[in-house]
Amino acid sequence: MECIEILTTTSTAHSYIGKREIPPGALTISIADEFSKTPGGRYRTEGPFSGEQFREELLLPRFDEAVKQKVKLYVDLDGGYGYPSSFLEEAFGGLARVKKSASLVENTIVFNSTEEPYLVDDVLRYIRDARLK
């Protein structure tokens, strides 16, 4: 007899991002599903799906809503074909610069990356380093 683990991404009572349960009322972003599986460079001038475009069109409005509602914003980094470091730095480091608060960004966003776990550390470093620029 073969045992198969089935991971349900949504149910009537619970939602998950990776293996992490998302509390009811929390906001989410799946970059691959809602923006692009192939994110681009830092700026819009460098081509489609830039970190700047993602920050301005998707991340910032959802972040502001999470802050307003006093809930976490869960950002899923899985499902794409990789991330240029310039995309991640501009999106998340740029958010910290725009908000003038790395701690607000760190305390509001919860990151998930089961496919490439090191990305979470990279993104957190970009957020923390943003206050130095």
pLDDT of residue 25: 86
pLDDT along the chain (133 residues), means of 10: 37 53 90 98 97 98 97 96 97 97 96 94 96 65
Look up tokens 């998340």; give the residue: 92
- Please answer whether residues 131 and 102 qualify as being in contact, where contact means their C-beta atoms are separated by less than 8 angstroms: yes
pLDDT of residue 18: 62
pLDDT of residue 12: 39
For the chain, domain boundaries? 20-130
